[in-house]
Amino acid sequence: MKKAELINLVTEYKINPIGIDVLKPRLGWQLNSGERNLMQTAYEIRVANSKKDLESGKNLIWSSQKVESDQSVNVVYGGPALTSMQRVYWQVRIWDNKNRATSWSSPAFWEMGILDRSLWTASYIAMDDITTEKKSHPSQYFRTEFKTKKAIKSAKVQVTSLGVYELYLNGEKVGNDLFTPGYTTYNKRLQYQTYDVTEMLQGNNAIGAIVGDGWYRGNIGWKGDYAFYGKQLALLVQLNINYTDGTNETIVSNGDWKASYGPILESDMYNGEKYDARLEMDGWAQSGFDDNKWTKVQILDHSKEILVAPQGPPVKAIEEIKPKKLITTPKGEIVLDLGQNIVGWARMRVRGNKGDRVTLKFAEVLDKDGNFYTKNLRAAEATDIYTLKGDGEEIFEPHFTSHGFRYIQVIDYPGTLSLDDITGIVIHSDIAPTGSFTTSDPMINQLQSNIQWGQKDNFLDIPTDCPQRDERAGWTGDAQVFSMTAAYNFDVAAFYIKWLKDLALDQHENGSVTNVVPDILTGGEGVSAQGGATGWADAAVIIPWTVYQSYGDKRILEEQYESMKAWVNFMAVKSGEDYLWNDPKHWHWGDWLAYNADKPDYNGSVTEKDLIATAYAYYSTTLLAKIAAIIGKTEDVGKYKEQAVNIKKAFIQEYITPNGRLVSHTQTAYAMAISFDLIPEGLIEKSAAYFAADIEKFGHLTTGFLGTPLLCTTLSKIGRDDLAFMLLNRKEFPSWLYPITMGATTIWERWDTQKPDGTIIEGMNSFNHYSYGAIGEWLYTHVGGLRIDPKNPGYKHIIFDPHPGGGLTSADAEFLSLYGKIKSAWEIKDGKFHYEVVIPSNTTASVTLPKATPDSILINNSKLKSDLLKTLKQTDEGVQLELGSGTYQFSYPSGKLKL
Ligand code: RAM
């Protein structure tokens, strides 16, 4: 057995972050050891200004002293307040339940950003270029030069823009983040990035930056709006250089900088980029460039009070995909097929004459005749146009646009196009993969792949509904229903922490939560402008709860508490004295895009929206009461508990007959009422029977955005795994596997986005919407059996409870928790149920061995020993054991399992 060591030291979910502005950052570590039953019993953290001080234990800024505690995640820094740009080093050691201490961990560090606003001495600089019409403008280039005369110890640059920027130092791009400064509700919060550029400086230096329209003033929303946040782009740069002699210098963006247009003629999030390589300005971001023809910049008066350091992960280019096929369509279009619906762009290699123009168009699908299909992109042109400069091999990648696509149409390519000339660049928020789920069924594995791709493709700094058409908005409902699945697949803690801040800031004074965040709809026309929609606005409560459940993060509950409360209070006001939210004038999306057997061209739901609204009001109110208790808002606990009791009473009276039938007799209504715990005790069996009977009657699901995520979990809850698996395994429309029979590589917006004959529904119809991918939660938790214990969140105590069935012979769910890897993998082989669980150090688990009997169980090929036997409980489900950390292999005869 290797010696236990402390690894993966994180600060605010990141390894060695710089430029953060969380004043009391939270620290975490993993105890890496394969040892059984290993728990931390105490820890000691120390923090110093230098590595040397840290390791000698001298001049410490803070020592936690030995704290008797098993907490190893989200431990709050308790030392003195830190100052702007202060870097501190930290390490930790722990004591375990076997009376051993580890040695000190390797040092980690974090570095603060600008905390004192008076340190922002840079000015926003801009070109004289104001958007007055609905049109993309050329991207802007900024530059300055400076000399350094002394030896440099360290240099950091802080940078942001109104628009999206790329920063260059001495000709090299600074960092590899994309679409910086990121997408926030720009009028209230503007992120700046900090980069360590120590190695990039030389004697004669030049800083350059390109700024494009981006979300700030580009085309946004499906109504063709431009300049939503502002009409003028700007850049803010501040470079701090520390010299070895102890002096320092700050280079800032100011009136001395020069600006110019360049080769990016148009750059639009939806429409694509027009790039003319003939206009390239060689060496523009290096010293010595002749910028005589460049214009002087203006100083723009814009708030620095709104500047914040980023908490979420940046967007990056994560993967490259080579095209699988080159197709000539029946119409004669030259099209490359990547074999996967991705988000990003195509990198093109090309040779030709000066002035040759290549057009790249992007599409998710081919139509039923095999031709390139872009109608579902609506107004998004998704077209990149590259004009060659004509000097040998040229490589093109766009700067400030992205497309959602699997197919690339190449028009007017000079010479013969080969598969090697185009590469698909996959971009998304740099969320670390944490989950995997595989089974014996390749179609279900493809479903899992589609869910994960749907997540990657739609996590582009904000959770978007779709990545391809003229929308790509942070729809709250979609984010809400998918959040738990998202938290299995990838580490999304910091991603949601960031987005929820914007949700709260955009929230209306009366507590109403907007339909999309950042909110680009309020004030516009139509129902989308209204907000406060049931199941959508509840993201305000449900997503913080998901983050708390998945990462044990209490701070998100504290920070979002006022926002949650405001939303719950809004619903209470709307519901009034009878506790029923049935205001006919209030718009809800309801069970959006549900299957409706009566109307083949459905675009609505059959579950009454009032019923859904009151059900969700109940659910969010119960969560709020729990949250109030968790964060010590004792004065609120009773109030919200009572409110919930009253809503439940009203719901029962209004929507449930004395026979347990719901007035909306739909799968969604039953799934919602049962899973939110709205059915009175004595009626559960009857309601459950109605629910099951409806599924049997149809033989398929009929649910939409709000019902679908609850469907299989609720069927399992009422003991009808058979029906849940029936729904999962169904291959005809409507089902999760039907799109896969049609070749889908991502989750569709509609159950029948594409009909069996290949026709595609016109209008609002995306091939890449993650909402229906919310089935992923059930796959991990139920089929795989890897679950959070809500009373002991963040996987501090894990529940293993696999449910084999549906003809599967194996399932393997794995999750990289903050404590380390968790595994729940079963296989039925040679008449035996083999089950492996991996429990990380410093956690414990309850394991249910389905349909096992105590004397039939072998653990690592031996009979159960007394330590485990002591914990054994026989339940209706099987045998339950309490386990500590380690790897365990169980096996027993599989005869009693219903497969
Ligand atoms: C459309 C999309 C989106 C959904 C809204 C209500 O814009 O389907 O995902 O949330 O409608």
Q: What is the distance between the alpha carbons of residues 73 and 231, in angstroms, rounded to a whole number?
A: 44
* Any atom of ligand 1 within 6 Å of the Cβ of 470: no
Q: What is the mean pLDDT of the chain?
A: 96
Say if residues 423 and 364 touch (Cβ distance below 8 Å). Answer: no
Q: Are 714 and 688 in contact (CB under 8 A)?
A: no
Report whether residue 477 contacts ligand 1, using a CB cutoff of 6 Å.
yes
Does 478 sit in the ligand 1 pocket, CB within 6 Å?
yes
Catalytic-labelled residue, pool 111, 166, 394, 471: 471
Q: 592 CB less than 6 Å from ligand 1? A: yes
Phi and psi at residue 815, to the nearest 5°:
-150, 130
Best probe residue, ligand 1, of 705, 708, 747, 750 (max atoms within 8 Å of C-beta) = 705
Burial (CB count <10 Å: 0-12, 13-18, 19+), residue 783:
buried
Quote the pLDDT of residue 2.
59
Which of 521, 592, 749, 766 to mutate to test ligand 1, by most ligand atoms within 8 A of the CB atom? Answer: 592
Asked whether 591 lines ligand 1 (CB < 6 A), one says: no
Residue 95 carries which side chain, given as an amino acid letter? Answer: W
Residues 870 and 890: their CA atoms lie apart, in Å, by 17
Question: Each residue of 113-124: pLDDT tens digit?
Answer: 999 999 999 999
Residue 604 has pLDDT above 50, yes or no: no
Look at residues 543, 534, 531, 405 and name the one whose alpha carbon lies nearest to residue 473.
531
Q: What are the C-alpha distances in Å from 112 to residues 16, 48, 852? A: 11, 14, 54
Query: How much is the average pLDDT of 347-367?
Result: 98
Name which CATH class applies to 120-308. Answer: mainly beta
Q: Is residue 618 scored above 60 in pLDDT?
A: yes
Computed over its alpha carbons, how large is the radius of gyration of the chain?
Answer: 28
Closest CA to 898 of 824, 853, 833, 834: 833
Q: Which residues pair with 798 in a beta bridge?
A: 788, 845
Q: Is the CB of 892 under 6 A from ligand 1?
A: no
pLDDT at 567 over 50: yes
For the stretch 178-197, pLDDT in tens is 999 999 999 999 999 999 99
Which residues contact residue 31 at a Cβ distance below 8 angstroms, ignoring those fewer than 6 apart? 4, 5, 6, 38, 40, 72, 94, 96, 102, 819, 820, 840, 841, 842
CATH H superfamily, domain 5-112: Immunoglobulins (2.60.40.10)
- How much is the pLDDT for 896? 86
Q: Residue 110: is its pLDDT beyond 90?
A: yes
CA dihedral 299, 304, 309, 313 (to 10 degrees): -60
Which residue's CA is the closest to the ligand 1 atom numbered 6?
589
**Domain locations in the chain as residue ranges:** 5-112, 120-308, 315-428, 787-893
Q: Give pLDDT tens digits for 131-178.
A: 999 999 999 999 999 999 899 999 999 999 999 999 999 999 999 999
Is the pLDDT at 598 greater than 60? The verdict is no
Q: Is the CB of 589 under 6 A from ligand 1?
A: yes
Which tokens sit at 532? 């406060």
Tokens of 462: 């904000």
Percent of the chain predicted with pLDDT > 90: 96
DSSP-derived secondary structure for 447-481 = HHHHHHHHHHHHEESEE-S-SSSS----BHHHHHH
Helix 667-675, helix 684-698: angle, nearest 10: 150
Residues paired with 813 in a beta bridge:
437, 824
Tokens representing 547 are 């983050």
Asked whether the beta carbons of 237 and 159 are under 8 A apart, the reply is: yes
Most ligand 1 atoms within 8 A of CB, residue of 462, 470, 472, 475 to mutate: 475
**471 belongs to the catalytic site:** yes
pLDDT digit string, tens, across residues 698-715: 999 999 999 999 999 999
Q: Write the single-letter amino acid at 296.
A: K
Q: What is the biggest distance separating any 2 CA atoms in the chain, rounded to whole angstroms?
A: 87
The Cα 798–Cα 566 span in angstroms is 33
Write down the CATH number for the domain with range 315-428: 2.60.120.260
Ligand 1 centroid distance, CA of 523 (Å): 18
Which ligand 1 atom lies nearest to the CA of residue 222? 7
Closest ligand 1 atom number to CA of residue 528: 6
**Centre of ligand 1 from the C-alpha of residue 505, in Å:** 21
685 membership: H or E segment, kind and range: helix 684-698
- Cα 681 to ligand 1 centroid, rounded to whole Å: 35
- According to DSSP, the residues that pair with 252 across neighbouring strands are 238
In the prediction, which pLDDT does 707 show? 97
User: Does the pLDDT at position 810 exceed 90?
Assistant: yes
pLDDT exceeds cutoff 90 at 596: no
- Tell me if 475 CB under 6 Å of ligand 1: yes
DSSP-derived 3-state class of residue 376 = helix
* Per-residue pLDDT, 603: 42
* Spacing, Cα 519 to ligand 1 middle (Å): 14
Nearest CA to ligand 1 atom 3: 465
Ligand 1 mean position to 542 CA, how many Å?
A: 18
Per-residue pLDDT reduced to its tens digit, 402-450: 999 999 999 999 999 999 999 999 999 999 999 999 999 999 999 999 9
Q: Can you tell me the mean pLDDT for 264-273?
A: 96
CA dihedral 209, 214, 217, 219 (to 10 degrees): 150
Cα distance between residue 211 and residue 623, in whole Å = 43
Active site residue 320: no
Q: Which class for 299: exposed (0-12), middle (13-18), buried (19 or more C-beta within 10 A)?
A: middle
Instruction: Name the DSSP class of 433.
Output: B
Does the beta carbon of 551 sit less than 6 angstroms from any atom of ligand 1?
A: no
CB 465 less than 6 A from any atom of ligand 1: yes
Domains 120-308 and 315-428 share a fold: yes
591 C-alpha to ligand 1 centroid (Å): 11
Assigned token pair, 77: 């820094």
Whether the predicted pLDDT of 3 surpasses 90? no
676 in contact with ligand 1, CB cutoff 6 A? no
Query: Does the C-beta of 531 come closer than 6 Å to ligand 1?
Result: no
Tell how far the Cα of 769 is from the centroid of ligand 1, in angstroms. Answer: 9
Question: In Å, what is the CA distance from 457 to each residue of 127, 430, 450, 478?
Answer: 33, 11, 10, 14
- Measured between alpha carbons, how far is 617 from 571 in angstroms, rounded to an integer? 6
CA of 274 to the centre of ligand 1 (A): 30
- Side chain identity at residue 53, one-letter code: D
Q: Are 591 and 606 in contact (CB under 8 A)?
A: yes
pLDDT at 16 over 60: yes
CA–CA–CA angle 769, 513, 525 (5° rounding): 75
Residue nearest to atom 2 of ligand 1 (CA): 465
Condensed to tens digits (0 to 9), the pLDDT of residues 717-775 reads: 999 999 999 999 999 999 999 999 999 999 999 999 999 999 998 989 999 999 999 99
pTM over 0.75: yes
**Three-state SS string across 540-594, please?**
HHHHHHHHHHHHCCCHHHHHHHHHHHHHHHHHHHHHHHHCCCCCCCCCCCCCCCC
Q: Ligand 1 center to residue 665 CA distance, Å?
A: 24
The bridge status of strand 87-96 relative to strand 108-111 is antiparallel
Cα(87)–Cα(465) distance, rounded to whole angstroms? 38
What architecture is the 787-893 domain classified under in CATH? Sandwich (2.60)
Which one of the listed residues 333, 364, 381, 749 is annotated catalytic? 749
What amino acid is encoded at 299 in this protein?
I
What's the CA gap between 623 and 539, in Å, rounded? Answer: 12
Cα dihedral 643, 646, 651, 656 in deg (nearest 10): 140
**CA 544 to ligand 1 center in whole angstroms:** 21
